[in-house]
Amino acid sequence: MENKMTNLLDGLNDRQKEAVTTTEGPLLVLAGAGSGKTKVLTHRVAYILENRLAAPWEILAITFTNKAANEMCTRIANIVGQMSEDIWIKTFHSACLRILRRDIEKLGYTSNFNIYDTNDQKRLIKDCLRELNLNEDNYPIKSVISKISSAKDEMIDCKEFAKRNDDFRGEKYAMIYARYQQKLKENNAMDFDDLIAKTVELFKDNPDVLEYYQNKFKYIMVDEYQDTNNLQYIFVSMLAEKHRNICVVGDDDQSIYKFRGANIRNILDFEKQFDDAKNIKLEQNYRSTQTILDAANAVIANNFERKEKKLWTNQGEGEKIEVRTCSDQVDEAMYISGEIEKLVSSGKYSYKDIAILYRTNAQTRALEDNLSCPYRVLSGLRFYDTKEIKDILSYLRVIYNPNDDVNLTRIINVPKRGIGDTTVGKIAAFAESMGVSMFDIISDEKYLEALGRSSAKIREFSAIINNLREYIDNIPLVDLMDKVFTETGYADSLMTENTPEARGRIENLQEFKSKALEYEKNVEEPTFGGFLDNISLVSDIDNYDTEQDAIVLMTLHSAKGLEFPVVFMCGLEKGLFPSYQSEGELDKLEEERRLCYVGITRAREKLYITYALQRVMFGKTESKVVSEFVGEIPEKLLNRTDNVVRKQFASYGSARGYSGSDLFGGAGKKSDMDYSAIIAKSTKSGAEMKSSVTYKKGERVMHKKFGEGMIVGITESGGDMMLEILFDNVGTRNLMASFARLKKL
């Protein structure tokens, strides 16, 4: 152990050593893709401990996924041994959850609160709409959840939200938000946004609690800082206020989660928040070939909002990037399938070495229909989202927290025990009128009499729950789960059904027991509540099994943080990637370009890029044009191949202003190389696509989406112009002249 600690700087490059040994004051580590940031973080923790700058429990290391946190735990334990057990190595949500379990009573909750996932949220919003007599068609549940989440991210409470939304629809959304929060508290439950929002609220309302944690954590490290939202930024800033030994590690070029609330300004403006911050760039890549890195560097260089960095490697030049033009999505899928078989047949690669990445899940159908190799789709139904697991989880949550009306409603008649929807509605109405939980109603004899013929069944159900509650933390988790399976009648109902589907559900329940056993073995002081918390914080990516010998299909967003020897990026077409939504909007286009950069840098040895000239999506057949991102990659890095018929090339060229003779010469078909040159010619980067129209400040223009506006700023860039336009209806937008399609007024 002593040798490990003494030699912990061995094997680090100069910039990594600098990041590890810079311990005092604010530090921004700009870590390019594959530059060894996890190694830097783990060695930095070990360095702090070796030099006795802090005790293990005085260090907080935060990341975004359980997978990343577990990897960090393992690596640190390999260096420092048992000391690692006292370090707070957590996700944002798990760190906040631990804080809230200790002090949540100060906000009027009890410590056995449940955590609601998206499905629970949807059911609760439905209840709110019903109680407020609002139509789901007019107030879609996804829209409601999004608005509430955004409000919480901005620390806007129900009262402030109502003030800011005083038109007719805004008032209704404010009513839903208020009722939703009221019902969460009545159920003694929180959603994921609340875990962080309530922690910040706890800190603001209770200075003594904040001071305790400020004193506790002498060193704070945050991984993937580019992905933080406003709430997470506030949470970390409050904790770091006293000691100011905050190290944030991230890559602004990999900020791709704006739709989840991530704010790229947090990393771009870190040095404004901490004006004495040190900035260290990690640019040496240990993952990919130089050809792949050159492609990534070339694409991302077209972004304005970024901190300059350039990835390089000692891995060698590597193979050129394969770019394939396909006639349609079936041709694309068949090409990918054929290439995969060639790669595996060569003996150099296994199926598990290969990933297919795409912009949207809608692209998977053609791939799945035409792949001839073993595969899995990462975004398929999560284990914890299957009916049987959701049912048993609802039982466990009601046992833990009987005030949880949402989960009680789910299982009061599962398996069927003669308690119909009408009766459940009566119970809910009684509970609401009395200001108590539904479980309080079904446990009270005076209410049971009013429920008529169902009263005996309800009495039996409440007795089952009360009996199971006696076992909390008194018997092993696996034994408690067995009792839930049997005493609720759930296992018997599946065995009686005796269908292949029912047998599959029984297998899933056995697997659920295995997960409980695994939790008890891996946690020093396992508890029933801790097990439920552990499940609530699991994400899709945490369950990704890297050892299964099958190619993996996933969205580009899901692929972040992963790497593969071989990557296929498919559907590189304008309108698909980048998406239609980004057209004419600089910030959205730049995020799409960052997503492309993430996709390229997932590849270690071989990268394939495919696009189709025609694609059927959502029941419509559309002609497609290759993405500008392909045109931003230097031609010398590419090996282009095409597989389209003469007619499709003619159609493609005509759409881009080429004549038939440009494509085929006078008498016949040109070579594939000529076709490639034409396609390359039509995919110039944004910097090369100089606008033929000139603009000046003060001019009035019309945009098809944003309406009328006035140009208030112009920035020249590589032959193009970034226009700052103040629109009459939507405020200021930054648009590239070559993409904006503006009409002068």
Average pLDDT of adjacent 10-residue blocks, the chain of 745 residues = 62 94 95 92 92 93 86 87 86 94 94 89 92 90 91 91 90 94 93 94 96 96 93 94 94 90 91 92 96 96 92 95 93 93 94 94 85 78 75 93 93 90 88 88 84 86 92 88 91 84 83 84 83 77 66 91 95 92 86 96 97 81 89 93 48 39 33 41 43 78 83 72 78 74 85
Please spell the DSSP secondary structure of 379-395, one letter per residue.
Answer: TS--GGGSHHHHHHHHH
Specify the pLDDT at position 3.
47
Specify the pLDDT at position 634.
94
- Return the DSSP state at 320: P
Taking the C-alpha atoms of residue 519 and residue 535, their distance in angstroms, rounded to an integer, is: 10
681 is catalytic: no
254 is catalytic: yes
Which residues make up each annotated binding site?
31-38
284 is catalytic: no
Specify the pLDDT at position 535.
82
Helix (H, G, I), strand (E, B) or coil at 143: helix
Of 553, 552, 550, 548, the closest CA to residue 364 belongs to 553
Q: How long, in residues, is the chain?
A: 745
Taking the C-alpha atoms of residue 701 and residue 697, their distance in angstroms, rounded to an integer, is: 11
Specify the pLDDT at position 514.
83
Q: Which one of the listed residues 22, 23, 38, 386 is annotated catalytic?
A: 38
- Say if residue 716 is exposed, middle or buried (CB neighbours under 10 Å; 0-12, 13-18, 19+): exposed
Give all strands (DSSP E) within 182-232, no chain letters: 189-191, 219-222
Residues 6+ apart with CB under 8 A from 728: 707, 708, 709
Please spell the DSSP secondary structure of 607-673, one letter per residue.
Answer: EEEEEESEEEETTEEEE--B-HHHHTS-GGGEEEEEE--HHHHHHHHHHTT--HHHHHTTTSPPPHH
Specify the pLDDT at position 318.
95
Residues 6+ apart with CB under 8 A from 255: 226, 227, 262, 264, 267, 591, 594
Q: Which one of the listed residues 16, 181, 254, 363 is annotated catalytic?
A: 254
Residues forming a β-bridge with 731? 727
Q: In what order do the strands lie in the sheet with 375-377?
A: 375-377, 551-555, 354-358, 564-569, 603-612, 321-326, 638-643
Q: Which one of the listed residues 224, 332, 388, 628 is annotated catalytic?
A: 224
Q: Which one of the listed residues 37, 457, 606, 733 is annotated catalytic?
A: 37
Which amino acid, 641? Answer: T
Taking the C-alpha atoms of residue 640 and residue 608, their distance in angstroms, rounded to an integer, is: 10
- Say if residue 157 is exposed, middle or buried (CB neighbours under 10 Å; 0-12, 13-18, 19+): middle
Q: Which one of the listed residues 127, 153, 193, 223 is annotated catalytic?
A: 223
Give all strands (DSSP E) within 273-416, no chain letters: 278-282, 321-326, 354-358, 375-377
Give all strands (DSSP E) within 438-589, no chain letters: 551-555, 564-569
194 is catalytic: no
Which residues make up each annotated binding site for ATP?
31-38
Residues 6+ apart with CB under 8 A from 636: none
Reply yes or no: is the peptide bond before residue 56 cis, omega within 30 of 0. no
C-beta separation of 461 from 442 below 8 A: yes
